Structure 1
Amino acid sequence: MNAFGAGLCGNPAAMPEELPFEPPQDRLRPEDLAKIAEAVAARPSLWEEGLRQTTAERTYAEVFTNEHLGVWAISWMADGHDTGFHDHDRSCGAVHVVCGCIRHEHLRLGARPVGAAVGEGGTFCFDDTFIHRMRREPGSAATVTIHAYSPPLRQTGQYGEHPDGLLHRTPTDSEEQLKPHGGQGTPSR
């Protein structure tokens, strides 16, 4: 048994195994990243043991990184776990929900964000022009997502309305945990 008892999402812990994809030799498309995220989600032995369970903050477990791909598992244990609006700089990506539910929102200027709940088994992808926000769906059970980025994240941009009323972008190193910066507007329903 691992630190999560029988397993964070009901999957028993297993010994690490081979990657369910070939390490890429070039930049990948969002559709390719979605397949990788889904394949990694199906192999909890690659990430489950390294993923801490805490309501204090989102936690991360690195699954794989080379110059063309970065794959991470992320745990969302509290309703307040929220990335705020952000971009991925030069990286495109895909997210697969292993268990629980994520609220995925798209920034709209002058209007309420557009959002949807993405539940267990759901996948979405995005290109390098995308600005979005992810947060645990309020009231959802423990949530785990698998994220695949190409190229691996080096920097993100975090967005928020500042006291001057303007939308600002704050460049952020990929090592810093994403969180809301400035006003985030009215959440989607």
Structure 2
Amino acid sequence: MTGRLPFPPPGRVLDGQELQSVARAVAEAEELWTDLLPHRTGERGYAEVFLDEHLGVWVLQWTSDDHDTGYHDHDHSAGAVHVARGAIRHEHLRLGHRPVGTRVPTGEGFCFDETFIHRMRREPGAGPTVTVHAYSPPLVSTGQYGEQDDGLLHRVPTPSDEHLSPKGRQGTPSTKPPDADTDEGGP
């Protein structure tokens, strides 16, 4: 076991709703993660906050509007994300249509099961953003998705300690740049 939590470790695999409570509690306990973040701008940083056989908790720092995980899954892990500072854009891939995206501001979050495919990026213009991610069982690998040169969507298996970034073309984002006249992608 590494790191600390603001409560005793649960000692079992958690579901998405339980993970959402974990992510929120860790986000609110800034003393657990503030010193773990890299203090440089321009790079998306991440650090492990807690890890045992049932639970993994990470903190991510998003310092630029181009920070983007690309579409990915979490292999066999359920998860949750809570925004501690700033805002992210959370997008769901839709085949044949623009993705569905929502702005997730400070104090809000979401959870997902092991079948979920999504993309997160810093909400354009949101400023420095910090998110807390909780996974159960702990993340071992992810699958990253992107359109390759053959025009097909491919899954690229990736170890959990590799920095997520778009692998191949990601399609049209759910929002246009902030200077565009309209936003056809929703909230």
Task: Check whether TM > 0.5.
Answer: yes
Q: In the alignment, which residue of structure 2 is the partner of 1:23?
A: 9
Instruction: Report how far residue 56 of structure 1 moved.
Output: 3.2
Q: In the alignment, which residue of structure 2 is the partner of 1:160?
A: 146
For 1:119, give the aligned amino acid: P
Q: In the alignment, which residue of structure 1 is the partner of 2:180?
A: none
The aligned length equals 173
Q: In the alignment, which residue of structure 2 is the partner of 1:57?
A: 43
Q: In the alignment, which residue of structure 1 is the partner of 2:115?
A: 129
Q: In the alignment, which residue of structure 1 is the partner of 2:100?
A: 114
Instruction: Report how far residue 18 of structure 1 moved.
Output: 5.9
| 1:151 corresponds to 2:137 | yes
Contact in 1 for aligned 2:37/2:47 (Cα 8 Å):
yes
Could you list the runs of 5+ residues in structure 1 that have no partner in the other structure?
1-16
Question: Which digits, 9 at most, give the CA deviation of each residue in 1:156-184, with x for residues without a partner?
Answer: 00000011111000000011100001110
For 2:87, give the aligned amino acid: C
Q: How does 1:55-134 map to 2 (within 5 A)?
A: 55-134=41-120
CA distance in 2, matches of 1:55, 1:157: 27
CA distance in 2, matches of 1:72, 1:43: 13
Q: In the alignment, which residue of structure 2 is the partner of 1:179?
A: 165
Contact in 2 for aligned 1:53/1:75 (Cα 8 Å):
no
Instruction: Report how far residue 111 of structure 1 moved.
Output: 0.8
Describe the SS at the equivalent of 1:45.
Answer: helix
CA distance in 1, matches of 2:164, 2:91: 15
Describe the SS at the equivalent of 1:49.
Answer: helix
Describe the SS at the equivalent of 1:33.
Answer: helix
For 2:47, give the aligned amino acid: A
CA distance in 1, matches of 2:41, 2:147: 27
Instruction: Report how far residue 53 of structure 1 moved.
Output: 3.2
Describe the SS at the equivalent of 1:40.
Answer: helix
Identity %: 63
Instruction: Report how far residue 21 of structure 1 moved.
Output: 2.4
Contact in 2 for aligned 1:53/1:77 (Cα 8 Å):
no
CA distance in 2, matches of 1:145, 1:135: 11
Contact in 1 for aligned 2:4/2:50 (Cα 8 Å):
no
| 1:139 corresponds to 2:125 | yes
CA distance in 2, matches of 1:18, 1:163: 44
Q: CA RMSD in A?
A: 1.2
For 1:154, give the aligned amino acid: V
Instruction: Report how far residue 61 of structure 1 moved.
Output: 1.9
Instruction: Report how far residue 57 of structure 1 moved.
Output: 2.1
